[in-house]
Amino acid sequence: MSRKRVAILISGRGSNMAALIEAAKDKNYPAEIVLVASNRPDAAGLDTAQAAGIATVVVDHKAYGKDRAAFDGAMQAVLEQYRIELLCLAGFMRLLTDGFVNHWQGRMINIHPALLPAFKGLDTHQRALDAGAKVHGATVHFVVPEMDAGPIIMQGAVTVRADDSAQTLAARVLAVEHRIYPLALKLVAEGRVRVVDGRCRIDGTPVPDAAQLVPSDQP
Ligand code: GAR
């Protein structure tokens, strides 16, 4: 089976990107990471990707001012140059135009640090604490024009501790992100995820990892 050609879009640290790169080192993994693209020239993840021998490119959004379509067009040209088949957003903190999103529909996935549809947007960990949530986590979903609203592929949960700060909670959720993102990309690259009535159906062998709960007594 030929491996799907994947680009990862980042804006910063790139720890989820690193988790995907690590998983894809296995020749049996159904996706290969051929490109990491950032909208910020100072994204730390670019160095990590280069150290792993992966091509990197910067499409600096500042060069395009308020013209989102021009930025997306430049990104699209790069993706075509590398013959990208699937896109993973990993801490990519920039809204994409409807045209770009629609072009990649069913082929672009994102990880969000909350159990969607709860806590869309930013500051998810503090907001979960403020709401008194007892369970929190992360979601991998297909990207649709509405932000943080696409069909859910996989979720991982952690129980919230009474003494959690946004930082301690973020750290436990991040560990879950690093586990579920490679699992979700594997399913998508294998063509096992179908969207029916706006919901994801996973074909083939049941995936016990599609929902994971990490109890509060685990790191
Ligand atoms: C991750 O927690 C990711 O879920 C979040 O940004 C962080 C990026 O970390 N994404 C969003 O908030 C998207 N709206 P990373 O660069 O180390 O992967």
* pLDDT at position 31 over 80: yes
* pLDDT at position 217 over 60: no
Examine the domain organization and report whether 200 and 175 are in the same domain. yes
Residue 27: how many other CB atoms lie within 10 Å? 7
Q: Which atom of ligand 1 is nearest to the CA of 10?
A: 16
What's the number of domains the chain is made of? 2
User: What confidence tens digit (pLDDT) does each residue in 36-54 have?
Assistant: 999 999 999 999 999 999 9
**pLDDT score, position 206:** 61
Show which residues are catalytic: 112
Examine the domain organization and report whether 126 and 198 are in the same domain. yes
Q: What is the mean pLDDT of residues 186-204?
A: 92
Examine the domain organization and report whether 130 and 84 are in the same domain. no
DSSP state of 155: E
Among the candidates 41, 76, 104, a domain finishes at 104
**pLDDT score, position 131:** 98
Examine the domain organization and report whether 45 and 117 are in the same domain. no
Examine the domain organization and report whether 98 and 116 are in the same domain. no
Among the candidates 104, 137, 169, a domain finishes at 104
Say how many Å lie between the CA of residue 111 and the centre of ligand 1.
7
**pLDDT score, position 199:** 94
- Beta carbon of 48 within 6 Å of any ligand 1 atom: no
* pLDDT at position 213 over 70: no
Which one of 47, 139, 177, 179 would you pick to mutate in the ligand 1 pocket, going by the greatest count of ligand atoms within 8 A of its CB?
A: 177
Task: Write out the two tokens for 212.
Answer: 């994971």
**219 lies in which domain range?**
111-219
Examine the domain organization and report whether 12 and 41 are in the same domain. yes
First-residue to last-residue Cα distance in the chain: 37
| Spatial CA neighbour of 98 closest among 144, 131, 157 | 144
* pLDDT at position 25 over 70: yes
Q: How confident is the model at residue 60 (pLDDT cuts 50, 70, 90)?
A: very high
State the Cα–Cα distance between residues 71 and 46, nearest whole angstrom.
19
Examine the domain organization and report whether 127 and 160 are in the same domain. yes
Q: What is this structure's pTM?
A: 0.95
Among protein residues, the one whose CA lies closest to atom 2 of ligand 1? 113
Q: What CATH number does the domain containing 178 carry?
A: 3.40.50.170
Instruction: Tell me the residue type at 178.
Output: H
**pLDDT score, position 205:** 66
Question: At 54, is the secondary structure helix, strand, or coil?
Answer: coil
Instruction: Tell me the residue type at 45.
Output: G
Examine the domain organization and report whether 41 and 85 are in the same domain. yes
Q: How confident is the model at residue 218 (pLDDT cuts 50, 70, 90)?
A: low
Q: Which atom of ligand 1 is nearest to the CA of 112?
A: 4
Q: What is the mean pLDDT of residues 3-16?
A: 98
Examine the domain organization and report whether 65 and 120 are in the same domain. no
**pLDDT score, position 203:** 84
Say how many Å lie between the CA of residue 122 and the centre of ligand 1.
10
Task: Write out the two tokens for 95.
Answer: 């809204």
Distance of CA 6 to the CA centre of its chain: 12
What's the whole-number average pLDDT of the chain? 94
Among protein residues, the one whose CA lies closest to atom 5 of ligand 1? 91
- Percent pLDDT > 90 in the chain is 91
For the chain, give the longest Cα–Cα distance: 50
Examine the domain organization and report whether 119 and 217 are in the same domain. yes
* pLDDT at position 96 over 90: yes
* pLDDT at position 108 over 70: yes
Q: How confident is the model at residue 204 (pLDDT cuts 50, 70, 90)?
A: confident
Examine the domain organization and report whether 8 and 25 are in the same domain. yes
The answer to whether 70 and 48 have CB atoms below 8 angstroms apart is no
Examine the domain organization and report whether 39 and 117 are in the same domain. no
State the Cα–Cα distance between residues 72 and 145, nearest whole angstrom.
14
Q: How confident is the model at residue 89 (pLDDT cuts 50, 70, 90)?
A: very high
Strands (E), the chain: 4-10, 31-38, 55-58, 86-89, 108-112, 135-142, 152-159, 193-196, 199-202, 211-214
The answer to whether 14 and 200 have CB atoms below 8 angstroms apart is no
**Angle CA 62–34–150, to nearest 5:** 65
